[in-house]
Amino acid sequence: MAQSSPNFDNIQGDIWPGLSKKYEQFFFFQITSPDAFKPNLKRLLAHKKITTSNDAINNRKMIAKHKQEKPGVLQEIAAVNIAFTFKGMQKMYPEDGFKDDPYRKGMEGDMVNEGRDKIQEWDDAFKASNGGIDGVFFVCGTEKKVKETTAELAKHYFNEARGIKHVITLDGRERDGENYKHEHFGYLDAISQPRLTGFDEECKKGDGNYQFMCRPGRIIVGHDGEMGNEPKLMHGDWAKDGSYLVIRKYEQFVPEFNNYLKAESQKLHLTPDQLGARMMGRWKSGCPVELHPDQDNPALARMNEFNYNSESGSNCPFAAHMRKVKPRIDNRDRDMNDIMRRGIPYGPEVGPDEASETKLDRGLIFTCYQSSISNGFQEIQRQWINKNTFPDGKEDYIGDQNPGQDCIVGQLVGRPRNDRDKVLTTAICNGKGEHTSTSYTPFIQSHGGDYFFSPSISLLQAMTKADF
């Protein structure tokens, strides 16, 4: 497929280039009356309330200019995007041409019924038995402006008189100070994002940021690379410039994670920081443990220009989180499984009364975009993260063991049949250079979410006219 110039006025801005988000509110809703909501959606578009890629680019320029002119003074800003579950799209638009099977099932059907999530651990709002979710609008920016914008939209556009029932609101907030851009376990997040051909500038080799360019159709529908450019697998023109969005709430058990590192590192002849770096795949600064296995090097915090040794897990275990979800040399198709991550932390910092166990809910509102949930999030979660044999064929390099499940976000099997299924196990090289393994209970818990489609502006406009 020949790549045409992208229409930045037709793509929602969080897909690309991403919305600025010091603070974010997710407003999940059900559509009680499509006939009442369609004219309201039309009004929402006419008032230009949905932030496009062009808007996001201009916002970035405005923020950069403000920082130069008024250093230390916060630029108040808010941006809005919207997305719909398959159930919500069925209510709003008669087109039934969605090709992605997980999207059609929804997250509960995919991650609970066929995956390792436990429905009793999900927030009630996301359960199908309570009606589930039809859509979400989310507002990103600075806290004051975000809350004002969310309140305005809820009052004038998303209310019962307009055919909308509010289900739940989730709040995400970037951490402050030295923890800025770090998730709650303490590691720098969102370092290695796909760079899209025709959208992003290509990196030059040697600057540390170089990586293979991703065909834009792996993230955005209707562009080069979508489903390998196989016509029978691709969406129709109506879906162009849209993207599938996964929203998933992960609670993180931070005190338990830190206590595990302290206790287990002694057994493995490592320091807690060394063990944590091996489990994550990067040091807390972001420096790759593959390049610096023994000591952090903050100067390489955002280093992307490296590869793993496909015949060794000595520096970075094969089951380290960063290696599991982006295996680099061990992934045969370099961009098929790429996702664009846009997550944000939620919840308070760990308090002084939480030295031994978690008492308050905190974690990550994980979000990501892709043109195929099957190839993106689902493949990564099921076949990479939770599969103890991935990457395949590594037993000879790690003492005749399997690599193990993802160290950070791995999940137990739904119905453990024996003791080994009641823990996660990871092959690791200890501080003496010996192949061994370590076991632990999961450090995260899924509280649910759903699969959405983020339509283009033109599809949103078509939705306002659609009739069954």
Task: List active site positions.
Answer: 189
How many Å is the Cα radius of gyration of the chain?
22
Choose among 250, 187, 207: nearest CA to 385: 250
CA distance 239 to 69: 41
Choose among 311, 348, 347: nearest CA to 330: 311
197, 215 in Cβ contact below 8 A?
yes
* CA-CA-CA-CA torsion sign (114, 119, 124, 129): positive
What does DSSP say about strands 340-341 and 435-440: parallel, antiparallel, or unpaired?
unpaired
